[in-house]
Structure 1
Amino acid sequence: MTTWTADNIPDQKGRTAVVTGANSGLGLVTATELARHGAHVVLAVRNTAAGAEAARRINGDVEVRELDLASLDSVCEFAGKLVAEHARIDLLVNNAGVVLLGPRRTSADGFELQLGTNMLGHFALTGLLLDALTDGKGPRVVSLSSITHKGAHLDFDDLMFERGYRASSAYGRSKLATTVFGIELERRLRAVQSPITSVLAHPGLTRTNLTPRAWEHRGRMGRVIARTGLLFTQSVAQGALPQLFAATGPDVRGGQLFGPSGPWETRGRVAEGRLSREAGDPVVGARLWAAAEELTGVRYL
Structure 2
Amino acid sequence: MASKWSAADIPDQSGRVFLVTGASSGLGLETVRAVARRGARVVLAVRNTTAGEAAAAAIAEQAPGADLEVRHLDLADLDSVRAFADGFDSGIDVLVNNAGIMAPPRSLSKQGHESQFATNHLGHFALTGLLLDRLQGPDPRVVTVSSLAHGHGQIHFDDLTGERGYTPVRYYSQSKLANALFGLELERRLRAAGNPAASLIAHPGFSDTGLLRSTVAVVRIGGRALSPFVTQSAAAGALPQLYAATEPKAEGGQYIGPDGRRERKGAPAVVQLSDLARDPALARRLWTVSEELTGVRFPLPAAA
Same fold flag (TM > 0.5):
yes
Verify: 1:74 aligned to 2:80, yes or no.
yes
The yes-or-no answer on 1:121 pairing with 2:123 is yes
Kindly report the root-mean-square deviation, in angstroms, between the aligned alpha carbons of the 2 structures. 1.5
Q: Kindly provide the CA deviation profile for residues 6-31 of structure 1, in whole angstroms up to 9, marking residues without a partner as x.
A: 11101100111100010001000000
Matched AA of 1:188: R
Amino acid corresponding to residue 275 of structure 2 in structure 1: R
> Which range moves more in the overlay, 204-213 or 237-246?
204-213
Question: What do residues 261-289 of structure 1 show as CA deviations (whole Å, max 9, x unaligned)?
Answer: 11110001111111010001000010000
SS where residue 253 of structure 1 aligns? coil
Q: Secondary structure at the match of 1:82?
A: coil
User: How many correspondences in the alignment?
Assistant: 293
1:283 maps onto 2:281 in alignment: yes
Paired residue secondary structure (2:157): coil
Residue ranges of structure 2 left out of the alignment (5+ in a row) = none
Corresponding residue of 1:101 = 104
| Matched residue type, 2:165 | G
Name the CA distance, whole Å, in 2 between partners of 1:184 and 1:214.
Answer: 29
TM-score by length of 1: 0.94
Write out aligned runs for 1:1-301 (5 A). Answer: 2-58=3-59, 59=63, 60-83=66-89, 86=90, 88-102=91-105, 104-133=106-135, 135-213=136-214, 217=218, 224-300=222-298, 301=300
> Aligned-pair distance for 1:215?
8.9
Checking the alignment, whether the CA contact within 8 Å between 2:104 and 2:216 is kept in structure 1 is: no
Amino acid across the alignment from 2:47:
R
Deviation at 1:223, TM superposition (A): 5.9
User: Which stretch of structure 1 is more off in the superposition, 113-122 or 52-61?
Assistant: 52-61
The Cα offsets for residues 221-270 of structure 1, whole Å up to 9 and x where unpaired, read as x9644423111100111100000000001211111111111111000111
Offset, 1:159: 2.0
- Aligned pair in 2 of structure 1 residues 201, 214: CA closer, same or farther (>3 Å)? farther
Aligned mates of 1:101, 1:57 — CA distance in 2: 29
Q: Distance in 2 between matches of 1:267 and 1:188?
A: 31
Amino acid at match of 1:177: A
Distance change in 2, residues 1:151/1:93 (3 Å): same
CA shift, 1:162, in A, is 1.8
Instruction: With the length of structure 2 as denominator, give the TM-score of the two structures.
Output: 0.93
Contact 2:85 / 2:130 at 8 angstroms: preserved in 1?
Answer: yes
Distance 1:145 1:215 in 2: 20
CA distance in 2, matches of 1:213, 1:75: 23
Cα distance in 1, alignment partners of residues 73 and 26 from structure 2 = 17
Match for 1:192: what amino acid?
A: A
Letter in 2 for 1:123: F
When residues 214 and 182 of structure 1 are mapped into structure 2, their CA distance, relative to the original with a 3 A threshold, is farther
Which region of structure 1 is more displaced relative to structure 2, 209-218 or 65-74?
Answer: 209-218
Does the CA-based 8 Å contact 2:103-2:216 persist in structure 1? no
